[in-house]
Structure 1
Amino acid sequence: MTGTELAVRCGWTHPKTSRIENARTPPTPQDIRLWCRACGADDQAADIIVQSRDAESQYVEWQRKVRAGLTRLQGSYVQLYQATELFRIYSPTLVPGLLQTEGYARALLSANARLLDIPDDAEEAAAARLERSQVIHEPGHRFVMLIEEGVLRYQLGDADAMAAQLGHLLTAGALPSVSLGIIPSATQERRLRPQELFHVYDDTLVSVELLSAQVRVTQPSEIALYLKAFEHLRGMAVYGADARALIVKAIDALR
């Protein structure tokens, strides 16, 4: 069946078929029903409508979520954090939020506000981020965090703020509930290239952070893929004294 014939059967224009096919326009439930009917697949319409709604709810645009500022966004994670026993976090570009100092978080959030063209409430948002990060000191939670060595070199805020952040990593990495691994830049024959920033909450949810949006992954097969990738990345990281040596080296480079 051609696109033109499909459009005729559905009673809309051919450009609309093209827009839906190429994901430029999301289909309405009625669009899905008409498309399935035109293809003799009425019995599949209900499932496809549910899948479409799930996909839309799993992709959340930052600008829509932070329209009134960044402070409220920080509080929206508290319930999820409290319910999670095992956190797995991989970050190729940033210190994970749970390990951020106020100065580092304020510089990051202020930059995000400028990029998204929203009210700059970075000071209040940074304080809220630190408050929610107290979960790291509460019993019943474990944290496995991986960062690329480059994270130690990407300066956010002034040199003093960055030095304080790196110093905090030395302290936080020694907490009993925290495993902090650093993947050295000099790693040879990497098993896996650097990936997007992602969080795994227990084994039930993966949150992927993109420039424009956050994607929530709940499909078991996709979660399994992220867990497999995490183990590959974890196998390349250094820990303990070797990780501390990389942090100290980065602090010395600030002087």
Structure 2
Amino acid sequence: MTYQGVLTKMETEFFSPIQYYLIFKNDFLNMNQLLNKNITIQFVKYQCLNCGLDKPIFRQGFDKQCFYDVAKAGDWIMRPELSTAHLDKEDRDLEYEKKVQLQPHIVYLANSSNVKVGVTRKSQVPTRWIDQGAHEAIEIVEVPNRYLAGITELALKDYVGDKTNWRKMLKNDIEDENLVEWRDRLKQYIPDEAAAYFIESNTETNLEFPVIKYPEKPKSLNIKKEQQYSGKLVGIKGQYLIFEDETVFNIRANEGLVVNIFIN
């Protein structure tokens, strides 16, 4: 079977284990069903997720011009404390920014390679945790807009990490943590503006990923450089495909690339 399409992050369903789907314009693949199968990935061209042109991808699936123009790539995406829609102040497109920023947001703790703090829209729980490869997570604050979530995350970064070590996550070199204790310990550092939104009583969520074999020394596939790769799929975690030879392929980091996928 052969499939062709532009890569976007895999869609997921919260089951045990997580179900993964690679969505193309006219087709989709249930990636869980491809475990233990040989897959060939072949780079075809670029296709910017905004303009659709065959121009080198710069970041987040966009070519350079689109990245600096489109509302979906504003600085507040990566730095939510820069959100200004609650002030009726536009960055690139106020209508879009209000739609995204002025909705409930969650500040959470997730344990993927280590305990980290993060921000996501409430509607993206637990999708965000799945995308990060977290095996456990807990909500600590629910606020009405992205700005409040951003300043809360910024304050907590002084006491807990905010990055995932992708190699450690993929090796499954992790330890279980008591995230309820972490939540309670960090409460005192929540900014006054968000203190009333602290979630007093909840439990952590556990996630199971469809992995047959974890790599000991994961090596990242650069499909643009290699042009083509073949291997047996033995796992999926976060947004990574894991192959038997310990090659790993980050789907999200390759958004905007058109590929052929051959299933042997």
Q: TM-score range by the shorter chain?
A: under 0.3
Name the TM-score, length of structure 1 as normaliser: 0.25
Name the TM-score, length of structure 2 as normaliser: 0.24
Mark the structure with the bigger radius of gyration.
1
Question: Which protein is richer in strand relative to its size?
Answer: 2
Structure number with the bigger relative contact order (C-alpha 8 A, sep ≥ 6) is 2
